């Protein structure tokens, strides 16, 4: 079964806006097929450095505000390499119909940063590099927390995927649909929280608010350490 990945793009917009965070600068996210992504240079959650932003140009989703973006982090949440679920089949007798069911050996999630996509704007970030790096670190932490939330609910998700029947395709389709529903809901939660963070910190220089977010996510990471995925 092909895994599905959650993908987010989160920029730091350094200009000011009276009307709140504009839609064209808000975090973007979607559930996409694993084969659609380049994973040649990804890292698991850790402390970021300037060198982790290796993108040669701003992600196209934020091209309209490239002159105001200090940095953009491309994040993913995906199943771990040892995740395994498949359809098993059995025939009780030569005259009976084949019976199919889902077997899930492992189901776990990890957060990753795509360094080839993540972009740093020296023209903007040079004015406050520590603030920009801290901002992107918090976005990465939010992705990691999203992965841990999925890991915390893995047993429930596993039960929702389990089904059986006489059609292999139908059994597999129902499992895929259950997984996609869970990932779509996770995407919506992550986009909303990243947007709240940007709304609170991106429309100008707001170090006090950003430090409050850093304190909050650091506490949540500590409390959810047992749900951290391993690449």
- The tens digit of pLDDT for each residue in 90-103 reads 877 676 788 899 98
Q: What's the pLDDT score for residue 139?
A: 93
pLDDT per position as a tens digit, 38-86: 788 999 999 999 999 999 998 887 887 788 888 989 888 888 888 888 8
How much is the average pLDDT of 132-136? 94
How much is the average pLDDT of 142-154? 95
Angle, CA 172 vertex, CA 102 and CA 229 arms, to 5°: 65
Average pLDDT, the chain: 84
- Percentage of the chain exceeding pLDDT 70: 83
| 122 against 229, higher pLDDT | 122
pLDDT at 3 over 50: no
Q: What's the pLDDT score for residue 83?
A: 84
Cβ count within 10 A of residue 167: 12
Q: What's the pLDDT score for residue 4?
A: 39
Distance CA 13, CA 205 (A): 10
Q: What's the pLDDT score for residue 16?
A: 38
Query: Which is it for the CA torsion 60, 66, 68, 70, positive or negative?
Result: positive
Distance CA 193, CA 60 (A): 22
3-state secondary structure of 146: helix
Q: What's the pLDDT score for residue 86?
A: 84
Angle, CA 152 vertex, CA 195 and CA 100 arms, to 5°: 115
How much is the average pLDDT of 195-210? 87
Q: Place 14 in a pLDDT band, splitting at 50, 70 and 90.
A: very low
3-state secondary structure of 206: coil
């Amino acid at each position: 079964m092909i895994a599905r990945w959650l993908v987010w793009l989160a920029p730091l917009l350094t200009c000011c806006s009276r009307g709140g965070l504009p839609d064209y600068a808000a975090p973007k996210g979607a559930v996409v097929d694993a084969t659609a992504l380049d994973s040649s240079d990804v890292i698991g959650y850790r402390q970021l450095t300037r060198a982790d932003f290796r993108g040669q140009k701003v992600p196209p989703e934020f091209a309209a505000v490239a002159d105001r973006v200090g940095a953009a982090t491309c994040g993913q949440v995906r199943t771990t390499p040892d995740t395994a679920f498949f359809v098993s089949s059995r025939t009780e007798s030569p005259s009976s119909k084949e019976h199919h069911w889902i077997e899930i050996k492992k189901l776990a999630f990890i957060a990753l940063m795509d360094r080839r996509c993540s972009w740093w704007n020296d023209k903007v970030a040079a004015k406050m590099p520590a603030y920009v790096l801290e901002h992107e670190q918090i976005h990465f932490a939010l992705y990691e927390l999203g992965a841990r939330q999925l890991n915390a609910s893995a047993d429930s998700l596993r039960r929702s995927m389990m089904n059986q029947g006489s059609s292999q395709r139908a059994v597999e389709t129902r499992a895929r649909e259950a997984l996609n529903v869970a990932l779509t809901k996770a995407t919506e939660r992550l986009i909303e929280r990243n947007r709240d963070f940007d709304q609170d910190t991106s429309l100008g220089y707001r170090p006090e608010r950003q430090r409050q977010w850093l304190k909050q996510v650091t506490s949540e990471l500590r409390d959810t350490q047992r749900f951290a995925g391993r690449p």
